[in-house]
Structures are given as C-alpha cells and as structure tokens.
Amino acid sequence: MTYSKDFLVKVYRDLAELRMFEEKLVEAYAQGKVPGHIHSGMGEEAVYAGTLATTKDGDYYKITHRPVGAAVTLGVSYETAFSEAMGKSTGNSGGRGGINHISELSKGMLGFSGSLGCDAAVGPGAALKIKKDKTDNIVYVYYGDGTSSRGPIHEAMNLAAVWKLPVLFICQNNQFGISTHISRGSSVENPGADRAAGYGMPSKIVDGTDALAVYEATKELVDDIRKGNGPAILEAKAYRWRGHFEGDQTPYRDAKITEEWMKKDCVKIMEKYLLDKKVVTEDEIKAINDELNDEMNKAIEFADNSPAITADEIYDNIYA
C-alpha cells in the first residue's frame, strides 16, 4: 500500500503523542499528582494509532482504561485530559469520574467503564443511531484480552451480529489480565479472532506493534462494515510493557520476554520506517516530539494549577 506523507506523519504523530501522554502520566503519578491507579498502555499505542487512521466524521468510539491517552488521539485536549486524570475541575467531568472516564461526546466518545466489559454493548447501542440515520459510520469498541472472558463481551458481540450492526470490536491482546497470562484465561490462542466464528463475524489478527499493519487490517474490516455487512473483530497482538498498575513489579512474568517485546517498540518501528523511506528527516521527528512535549508540559501545569471542585459541587451532574 502506498501512503501520502501527510498520512504517515499523522500516524507517527498519533503514536508519539500517545506514548508521550502515557509517559507523562506515569511521571505525574510518581509525583503524586494523579489519584487512584493508572494503567499504562505503553507498548500498545499502535493498536489505537493504526485503527484510528481509518475513522471518518460521525464515527463513535468506546475506548478502555489502557491506554487512556486514546482520548487525546480522539481529540480531547491535553488540558482536559490531564485535568481529569488529576481530578481537577477543568476535566471533562470536573474530576468526578477520573482517569478511566476521560471522554467527550463531541469527539464521538461514548464513555467507558472502569468495570471492564460492562460497556461492551454501548457500541452496538450507538450503532442503532447510525442505522436509523442510514450513514456509513461505524462504532469502534476496544476491549482487552482479559476482558474477553467476561460475559458482557459475548452478549454485546452476539447482539451486534444478530442485528448486523456497524461495529468493529478491537481486541487489544497485550497478553495479560493483571497477572494472568492469556493462555490461562482463554482456551483458544486468539481470544478475539478465534471466537469470531461463533458469531458468524469476520476477523483478522495483526501485529499490534506495527501501526501500518494495524491500519491495513483494520481498513479491510472497516470498509466491509461501512458497506453494511455487519460487525467484525480485529485482534491486535502487543505486549503490556509495564505492570497492570504502577507499582506492579510483574513478578509473574519472565523479564527477558518483556525485554524482547520492548525491542518491538511501535513508535521506533514507525520512526525507522519514516526515516528509511526518507518521508521525514530526523529534524522533523524532533520537531514533532518537541512540540508535543511543550504542549503537554503546559497542559500538566494548567491542570496542576486548576482548582478541584468544591464539596457542594459533587452533587452536580448526577441528574440531567
């Protein structure tokens, strides 16, 4: 497949942005600026950068807790995203929802659950509106290999398939549900793709560290879904670089395997591709990263200096 420079730079920028967002989040968490728990998505950025290169205006998205930076890929501002992560009034819910709910409806984001899988059918539900409006939009529903064992995933897929809804389910297979390797949570090797046959859905398996491979596999499925042929499953295989949460030292896995996977760095792979093909220069790469760094630092400062909501504001937004 041939790509325009604009397209390639956009994919690279999305990758670099997501990586940097996740790095900044880890840093902010270490500094005690982020309450609760964060779930770093480092190593899995290509799953989002690749799939989201196939979107069009009017599509809907149901992301997950990992990486939450996907919200900025979808257009949520750094200020809003960091503010929400840091529990500040300037976040999308004013810090009421927090890191697992960085979301803006105006960006097509349907919202997502901290209780994983309970939000799976939100995608098929939004797809009913697409069907009513008779557009060729679709819904992107992300879930992890761990969540794939939860019942609501099955119910959502079955419903989407029975009603032939325009939904792409994306299984981010990072191989671990907290400490449990997927081989101990799934009787099939590919917990996303292998189960597609059970719903009569097409599926694809792709290397989730190669953003362009993810894009190409996604595009094939998405083109078909946009034609009205019903849902599909994409399984992108990657690896969760860090622990399930910060502080998880991952004693349950072989550090050598982790090191091997970390060599398959999706950001570096794309960077090398762009440089080898002379699409961009090292200076351009640096300029992109410098700009992201500046903007994110400013946003973190903004969030840090933003007030928290007050006690009498906690009741806001319960009822419309």
Partner 1 sequence: MLKTYAQAIGDAMKEEMRNDDNVIVFGEDVAEFGNIFGITRGILEEFGPDRIKNTPISETAIVGSAIGAATVGLRPCIELMYADFALVAFSEIYHSIGKWRFLHGPEYKLPLVIRMAMGSSFGAGAEHSNCVESLFMHAPGLTIVSPSSAYDAKGLLKSAIRSDNPVLFFEHKQLYQTKEEIPEEEYTIPLGVADIKREGTDVTIIAVSLMVKKALEAAEILAEKGISVEVIDPRTLAPFDKDTVFESIRKTHRVVVVEESHKTGGIGAELAAMIQEEMYDELDGPVVRVASLDVPLPYNIEMELHSIPNAEKIVTAVESLF
Q: Which of 72, 127, 168, 233 binds partner 1 (CB under 8 A)?
A: 127
Q: Which of 18, 49, 53, 126 binds partner 1 (CB under 8 A)?
A: 126
Q: Which of 87, 144, 152, 208 binds partner 1 (CB under 8 A)?
A: 152
Instruction: Tell me how many residues contact partner 1 (CB under 8 A).
Output: 47
List the x/- string, 57-76, binding to partner 1 by CB under 8 A.
---x-x--------------
Q: Is 41 in the site for partner 1 (CB under 8 A)?
A: no
Closest distance of CB 110 from partner 1, Å: 5
Q: Which of 59, 119, 207, 235 binds partner 1 (CB under 8 A)?
A: 119
Closest distance of CB 231 from partner 1, Å: 13
- CB 116 within 8 Å of CB 144: yes
Closest distance of CB 307 from partner 1, Å: 16
Residue 54 or 100: the one with the smaller Cβ distance to partner 1 is 100
Q: Which of 40, 51, 54, 93 binds partner 1 (CB under 8 A)?
A: 93
Q: Is 297 in the site for partner 1 (CB under 8 A)?
A: no
Residue numbers of the site for partner 1 (CB under 8 A)?
60, 62, 91-94, 96-98, 101, 103-106, 110-111, 113-115, 118-129, 131-132, 139, 151-152, 155-156, 158-159, 162-163, 316-320
